[in-house]
Each structure stands twice: as structure tokens, then as C-alpha cells.
Amino acid sequence: MRRVMTVPFFNNKAVQKYSRCWEEEAASMVEDIKKSYPQAMTTGICMRTRLKLLTHNNMFRMLFDKRFEGQNDPLFLDLQELNVKRDVLAQSHRYNHGDFNPILRPFLRGYLNTCKETCEKRLRIFDHFIQNRKKLITSTNDQEKLAFAGIDHILEAQQMGVINEDNVRYIVDNMNNAGTN
């Protein structure tokens, strides 16, 4: 798994390749704020959502060569909502009690079902990105013109049998967690 992840994300070539994209995204954020909030220079604003968009765009550009259109992009809003819900569920006291006192698990069925539903929704969103990338790869005749995204390396590893479909989803989910937290 480490070999699959190192090449597209964690080496000097990846930093050189994506540093320009990171700078573009930061410049885009500054321009959006200047345009959308002219009073920001004097009164200040809350930039939490725009910073989340910046981190999501950087991470998704590395992973899928895709970025969200803006703070109101429906896919971005869905992903953000599910990430928040995952964080709330993970920090819940019910989760901790069920983990450390297995005898309480039968009483936590509703909570566990909510966790399962949230996980399934998140994986459906990630599957959407993975399937779109697979379609793009198969429909593009000239592979040289297609930007090589991190998911391409992961999908190659899957085709060679190094990892399976569940591993691909697990990697994308963990990259989302790492990139947004």
C-alpha cells in the first residue's frame, strides 16, 4: 500500500508538479474574497468555508485532477456535510461507550445504523469521482494529453492486482480525511 501511495503524492516530483496548482488555488481564494467581500479589508470576515474549499480543491486536484466550482457547488456541499457528520459521529460518547463496553452494543443499533448510512453516502460520492475518472481514461484516445492524477496510479495498481476495489475506496476515503482535517 505504501508503494502505491508514495509515487503520486509523497515525493519531490509530486511537490514540483502540484506546487503551481496550490499557488493558483491560493490566489483564486484571495481574488474570490476581494470580489465577494469588499469590506474584508476593513472589517474582517470568516473564511472557514473558503479555506475548506481551498483544501478540498488542492486534495481533489491531486487525486482526481478536478476542482469544485465554488462554495455553492452541490458536490462540495454534500461532501462537506458528510465529513462534518462523520466527525460528529466519531466524537460521540455513544461511540466510545460501545467501543469499550461491548455489552452496550445492542443498545446502540440506531447509532450504528446512522454511522453505516453516513459511510455509505460518503463512499457513493467517492465512487462518483472514481467512476468519472475511469470513464475519462477510457474515453480519451490520446493518453499523453490527459493529466496524470493520483487516482490513475492507484487504478493502475488495481489493474495489476496489487490492490482491490475496496482498497481504492479506502485510499480515497483516507486521502479525503487527511486532506480536509
Evaluate if residue 9 carries a pLDDT over 80.
Answer: no
Say whether pLDDT at 2 is over 70. no
Q: How many helices (H) and strands (E) in the chain?
A: 8, 0
Q: What's the pLDDT at 23?
A: 92
Decide if pLDDT at 117 tops 70: yes
Q: What is the pLDDT of residues 145-180, one digit of tens each?
A: 566 788 888 888 898 998 998 889 988 888 888 777
The span from the CA of 157 to the CA of 96, in Å, is: 36
Please state the domain count of the chain. Answer: 1
Kindly report which listed range (64-73, 91-100, 111-120, 135-144) carries the lowest average pLDDT score: 91-100
- Assess whether pLDDT exceeds 90 at residue 27: yes
Whether the CB-CB separation of 57 and 25 falls below 8 Å is answered with: yes
Angle of helix 165-180 versus helix 150-159 axis, rounded to 10: 160
Distance CA 82, CA 115 (A): 11
Residue 175: burial class (beta carbons within 10 Å; 0-12, 13-18, 19+): buried
Residue 36, pLDDT score: 81
What is the span of the domain harbouring residue 165? 1-180
Burial class (CB in 10 A: 0-12, 13-18, 19+), 180: middle
Q: What is the pLDDT of residue 146?
A: 63
E strand or H helix that includes residue 53: helix 48-64
Q: What is the pLDDT of residues 46-104, one digit of tens each?
A: 788 888 899 899 888 888 888 898 889 998 999 888 888 888 887 776 666 666 677 77
Q: CATH number for the domain including 104?
A: 1.10.630.10
pLDDT confidence of residue 94: 62
